[in-house]
Every structure is written in structure tokens, then in C-alpha cells.
């Protein structure tokens, strides 16, 4: 295992962190396969992983309970730094801070949490917690030894990210979604570099874009196969991250022992500034190739919104495009049905045409909507649906 600097702390973190959001299950997400998940977690720690990340809501609020039991077995708790998160959307009053933290300490069977994050901050979530006095509360909790270091995870635009970073000198670290497709998405590469310049450790989530960068479509696989340095698609994505000195630790949510072994193998070769100029150019080419596979040229400018009939036009296009770009149609159908309310589905389009004159990309939105729903809602193949 390779180790890296963790911001300003006098402590080195393993290049690979164990994310406890995609543990093996026996059916429903809340039904964790505990013997197998424990075997995986212990194997990773035995091989040098020293950062374990969970959260209040993962696996139907069962992940923290599992992690507590798994780390207590064999005294594994003493061998890792443990991270969990305050669910910002479940906080209504300042009293909720203590109530939730107390619950988490009990579930995790520990007297302290090493790294505590304000979970999934966006502009509204940050303003709510800030106005409730979360920083002053955190200072008291840290002084009392209930957790040691404060950070936040993030899902919004760069300007909001910078605002949060600059809002307090008590941040030790942050967690951002970042991979070679997300260099300009959310905090992006700009946010990575800004946080690091302020002395924050940067924890990376979604390094493989939820698995979308594994088993790529053939044009992208052909590109990787053309490289002099042979790596798997996952290897290219992970090593690209580890080559950047601002990256502290890369989290992976692993569901099988094979994934644990594969990621450990990649982590053993992790190094800073290891990518050559031709390799960096190849990753840039892969990004452009993925983007060229995007069927609908929507930029999510939202000029088309609001739709008079409630359709979330940009989100429908985003899910549809993602399924096609990454050759993951079933994942796209799952996202459509799980995360997009039915009243916002493409099927709710009544072909009124209000949106189309507003679209800077001149997308025939009303023509695309039935195609989007036929693929995502009815299960038809992308190839069987003609473009408008």
C-alpha cells in the first residue's frame, strides 16, 4: 500500500480508502451480507487500508451499524481512521446536531469519530447548517473529544464550494466527486486545487463515476488498448487521480472481494506525478470520446425550464445521455425510476412546444421526450429508437 499526506495533519493516509456505501447485500440494500462484507473490510485493512468511510443513511441506515460491528471484531477499530457524516437534510434544529452524533457514536461502537463530515452540502444545505451554528457546535464537539476533525462532502457548483472552504478555518478536509469525466463538474479540478492550496486534505468519491468508467464502450476500450502502458479501464481512472498531488485518498465502494483485490493491486502502484504527457493526453482523448457518444447536446443551461407540465427536461436528458455514453442502459433506467419523480418524467410531455424556442442548442425537445421515455421508462433499446 502506498501512503499520502493528509492535508496539514502529521498522518499519512492510504492511497485507497474503503467506502461503505456499496457493500455486498442479500437482496435489499439494507440487508448487508455481513460475513462477506466483514471479510472484505478486514482484508483491505490487513493490506494497509487505514481510512474507512461510511454515513448515516448508507444502506438504509444500516452501514454504520455494520461498520461498528466489523471494526470491533479483532480490534480493527484501532488500525483505521473512521469517517462518517452528519445528514444535513435531516437537521431541522440545532438540537439535532447532538442527537444525531450521539446516535452515530452508539451505532459505530466507538467513543470518538476521527473525521466528521457535513454530508452532501449544496448552497441551501450549507446556509441552513451555518445559520444553525454548526461551526460553533463542531468546535465544542471536537473540544469534548467526540470527533477529531471537521470536513464536508459536496454536491454543487464551484462558487458555492469556494464559499464553504473560505467560511471557516476549522475545516481539515473535504470530499468531492471527481474523476476524469468530472473535471469541470461540481467542484471539479479547480475546486481540488483550491482546497489543497488552503491546506485541506481532499478525499475523492466516485472515482469510477459509479462504475460507469469500468467496462467502457468499445471505442473507449480501443483507445485504452492502443496505449503503450497497459492498464484496465479502472486502472487508468484510478492512476490518473493518484498522479495528482492534491488528491489525498481515493474512496472506492466495493461490492465483491474481487473488486477489493483489484483496487488493492492498483493502489500498490499509486504515485504522484506518474502520468506522462502522452498518458494525460490519452485521458483527455477518452473524455472527448465519451462526450462524442452523447446523443442529445443538452448543456443543462435550464433555459427551457420551468416546463408548463412539470417535466424536468435537463434531468431527463442527462439520464438518457449517461446511459448511452457509458453503455449502461440498465443503470440509466434505474436512475430514471428511482431518482426522478414520475411527475417529472419525459412521459409527461404534452408537446406544447413552449420550451423549444428557448433552447440555445435548438434541440427538438418535444420530439426527444417520447424517445427518452421509451428507453428509460419502457425498456426499449437505444438502438431501436430513431432520433428525431
Q: Which pLDDT score, from 0 to 100, does residue 387 have?
A: 74
Enumerate the domain spans of the chain.
3-284, 313-384
Helices (H), the chain: 34-46, 58-61, 63-72, 95-108, 123-131, 134-143, 158-166, 188-197, 218-225, 233-242, 257-267, 277-292, 313-325, 329-339, 365-376
The 10s digit of each residue's pLDDT in 31-52 is 999 999 999 999 999 999 999 9
Which residue, among 12, 21, 6, 45, has the nearest Cα to 174 in the 3D structure?
6
Asked if pLDDT for residue 385 goes beyond 80, the answer is: no
Q: Which pLDDT score, from 0 to 100, does residue 300 have?
A: 85
Distances 285 to 19, 240, 266 between C-alpha atoms, Å: 29, 13, 22
CATH-assigned architecture of domain 3-284: Alpha-Beta Barrel (3.20)
All three cell numbers of 126, joined, read: 450549507
Distances 181 to 155, 206, 209 between C-alpha atoms, Å: 15, 11, 8
Longest dimension (CA), the chain: 64
For the segment 277-287, the average pLDDT, to the nearest whole number, is: 97
The 10s digit of each residue's pLDDT in 303-343 is 899 999 999 999 999 999 999 999 999 999 999 999 999 99
Which residue, among 89, 93, 91, 44, has the nearest Cα to 70 in the 3D structure?
44
pLDDT band for 383, please (50, 70, 90 cuts): confident
Q: Which pLDDT score, from 0 to 100, does residue 210 have?
A: 87
Asked if pLDDT for residue 388 goes beyond 90, the answer is: no
Contact 251, 203 (CB under 8 A): yes
For the segment 206-210, the average pLDDT, to the nearest whole number, is: 93
Which residue, among 58, 55, 4, has the nearest Cα to 29 in the 3D structure?
58
For the segment 122-151, the average pLDDT, to the nearest whole number, is: 97
The 10s digit of each residue's pLDDT in 166-183 is 999 999 999 999 999 999
Q: Which pLDDT score, from 0 to 100, does residue 384 have?
A: 82
Q: Which pLDDT score, from 0 to 100, does residue 299 have?
A: 85
Q: Which one-letter DSSP state was computed for residue 32?
A: B
Distance CA 56, CA 86 (A): 7
How many CB atoms are located within 10 Å of the residue 82 CB?
Answer: 22
Q: Mapping DSSP to helix (H, G, I), strand (E, B) and coil, where does residue 18 land?
A: strand
The 10s digit of each residue's pLDDT in 332-352 is 999 999 999 999 999 999 999
The 10s digit of each residue's pLDDT in 213-247 is 999 999 999 999 999 999 999 999 999 999 999 99
The 10s digit of each residue's pLDDT in 70-107 is 999 989 999 999 999 999 999 999 999 999 999 999 99
For the segment 257-286, the average pLDDT, to the nearest whole number, is: 96
First-to-final CA distance of the chain: 51
Q: Which one-letter DSSP state was computed for residue 305?
A: P
Taking phi first (over 0 means left), then psi (-120 to 50 degrees means alpha), and beta for anything else, what does residue 254 get? beta
Hunting for cell 407540465 — which residue is that? Answer: 309
Amino acid at each position: 500500500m502506498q501512503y499520502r499526506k493528509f492535508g496539514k495533519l502529521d498522518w499519512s493516509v492510504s492511497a485507497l480508502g474503503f467506502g461503505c456505501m456499496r457493500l455486498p447485500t442479500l437482496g435489499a440494500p439494507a440487508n448487508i451480507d455481513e460475513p462477506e462484507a466483514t471479510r472484505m473490510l478486514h482484508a483491505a485493512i490487513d493490506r494497509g487500508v487505514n481510512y474507512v468511510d461510511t454515513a448515516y443513511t448508507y444502506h438504509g441506515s444500516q452501514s454504520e451499524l455494520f461498520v461498528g460491528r466489523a471494526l470491533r471484531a479483532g480490534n480493527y477499530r484501532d488500525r483505521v481512521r473512521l469517517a462518517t457524516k452528519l445528514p444535513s437534510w435531516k437537521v431541522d434544529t440545532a438540537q439535532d446536531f447532538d442527537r444525531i452524533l450521539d446516535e452515530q457514536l452508539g451505532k459505530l461502537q466507538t467513543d470518538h469519530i476521527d473525521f466528521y463530515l457535513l454530508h452532501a452540502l449544496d448552497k441551501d444545505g450549507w446556509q441552513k447548517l451555518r445559520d444553525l451554528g454548526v461551526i460553533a457546535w463542531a468546535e465544542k464537539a471536537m473540544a469534548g473529544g467526540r470527533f477529531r476533525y471537521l470536513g464536508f462532502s459536496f454536491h454543487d457548483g464551484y462558487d458555492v464550494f469556494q464559499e464553504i472552504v473560505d467560511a471557516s478555518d476549522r475545516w481539515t478536509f473535504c470530499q468531492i466527486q471527481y474523476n476524469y469525466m468530472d473535471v469541470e463538474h461540481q467542484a471539479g479540478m479547480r475546486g481540488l486545487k483550491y482546497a489543497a492550496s488552503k491546506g485541506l486534505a481532499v478525499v475523492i468519491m466516485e472515482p469510477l463515476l459509479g462504475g460507469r468508467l469500468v467496462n467502457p464502450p468499445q471505442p473507449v476500450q480501443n483507445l485504452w488498448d492502443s496505449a503503450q502502458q497497459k492498464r484496465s479501464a479502472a486502472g487508468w481512472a484510478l492512476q490518473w487521480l493518484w498522479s495528482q498531488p492534491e488528491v489525498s485518498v481515493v474512496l472506492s465502494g466495493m461490492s465483491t472481494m474481487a473488486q477489493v483485490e483489484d483496487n488493492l493491486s492498483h493502489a500498490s502502484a499509486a504515485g504522484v506525478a506518474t502520468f506522462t504527457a502522452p498518458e494525460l493526453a490519452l485521458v483527455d482523448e477518452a473524455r472527448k470520446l465519451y462526450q462524442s457518444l452523447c446523443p442529445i447536446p443538452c448543456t443543462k443551461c435550464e433555459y427551457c425550464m420551468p416546463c408548463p407540465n412539470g417535466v424536468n427536461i435537463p434531468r431527463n436528458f442527462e439520464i438518457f445521455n449517461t446511459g448511452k455514453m457509458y453503455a449502461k442502459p440498465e443503470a440509466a433506467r434505474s436512475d430514471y425510476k428511482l431518482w426522478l419523480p414520475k411527475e417529472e418524467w419525459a412521459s409527461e410531455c404534452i408537446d406544447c412546444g413552449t420550451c423549444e424556442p428557448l433552447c440555445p442548442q435548438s434541440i427538438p425537445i418535444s420530439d426527444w421526450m417520447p424517445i427518452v421515455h421509451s428507453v428509460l421508462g419502457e425498456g426499449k433499446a437505444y438502438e431501436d429508437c430513431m432520433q428525431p
